[in-house]
Amino acid sequence: MTSDVVPPNRPQLPSNFANELWQRYASQQKRLRPEPTQPSSSEISPEDYTTFTTHLKSSTRILALFGAGLSAASGIPTFRGAGGFWREYDSMTLATPSAFSKDPALVWQFYNYRRHAALNATPNRAHIALAELAKNKPNFLAISQNIDGLCQRAGHPAENIQPVHGSIFSNRCTKCPYVEHDNFKDPLVPAFALPDDVDPSDAKFPLKDIALGDLPRCPDCSALLRPNVVWFGEPLPQGAVDRVENWMATDNGGIDLMLVVGTSALVYPAAGFIHTARARGARVAVFNMEEPTEEGPTSRLKDGDWFFQGDAAVLLPELLKEVIGVVPGV
């Protein structure tokens, strides 16, 4: 037998208690739910911000291609377009095997300047934002054409990045199999030392006349060392290409999003990576300072793709913040 009598030691609850409790819970959840955000940068339209961030958050497999423009905000010259000269030399003519064979001292002084610039640079907010994206999206792979090491210094996980043009801090022998990695000595050899007030990129300062014997030499066979980077006319390392292709082929080859940062990707294989990603379902987002002026994959965007014009160090932290949080100023 049951009784409807409430024991005297049990407190009476208000008749509207359940309704008030629900309203209080709903109010609390509303406060906890993040409000829809809008871009704080005038370089990003609200519509592009919303469509991109919505797709980013739902994306699982993300491929990225990094070019020289990613490091521009760190003070690293891109050596492209109007800035394509080092002193009076076209930088593209220095980055060749024939240039090294003809004048190794000149080419080494060019790369010594680039090593010094990279060592004294700091990863910018775009490097940091992309490193954080890699940590938040495990199936993210970045193909980096940069040799300056700034992505790695920003904390980009090694398993989420594949350099394809080598590293300016690696050298290899021109005769034997010797290769050295992570050589951050500056200057690399005493002959490269310069006074603090001399800018080697300024043509008003004459280049040093360096003897062949004073250039970097192999410790195993004494032959000339060369920067372990990919020069124009040389193939990409096969291991790097295999890793990218294997990543593309996993999970049935589906790719949700492709980020193209700081490169026009006019030449292969860079252009091919974009074509392949799109063929496997990716929407493409391009980040560059200038609109493409030549026909290529970044100039042939499709409905559902994005082109964000401006400094990657401004755009990327803003567009990735709903996944990675706020990137502090550096």
Query: CA 317 to CA 328: how far, in whole Å?
Result: 9
Question: Which is catalytic among the residues 156, 165, 181, 275?
Answer: 165
Question: What DSSP state is assigned to residue 252?
Answer: G
- Tokens (6 digits) for 118: 């990279």
By C-alpha distance, which of 104, 62, 121, 46 is closest to 324? 62
- Tokens (6 digits) for 195: 């006074």
176 is in an annotated binding site: yes
218 is in an annotated binding site: yes
- Tokens (6 digits) for 83: 């800035």
Is the backbone peptide bond immediately before 14 cis, with ω within 30 degrees of 0?
no
173 is in an annotated binding site: yes
Residue whose pair of structure tokens reads 């049990």 in the numeric block: 10
Query: CA 268 to CA 6: how far, in whole Å?
Result: 82
Q: What is the CA radius of gyration of the chain?
A: 27
Q: What are phi and psi of 205, to 5 degrees?
A: -95, 120
For this structure, is 181 an active site residue? no
Packing angle, helices 270-279 and 238-249, rounded to 10: 10
DSSP E strand stretches across the chain: 62-66, 85-86, 89-90, 140-144, 161-163, 166-173, 179-180, 225-229, 257-261, 283-288, 306-309
What number of residues does the chain have?
Answer: 330
Q: Known catalytic residues?
A: 165
Query: Which residues define the annotated binding site?
Result: 173, 176, 218, 221
Query: Which residues define the annotated binding site for Zn(2+)?
Result: 173, 176, 218, 221
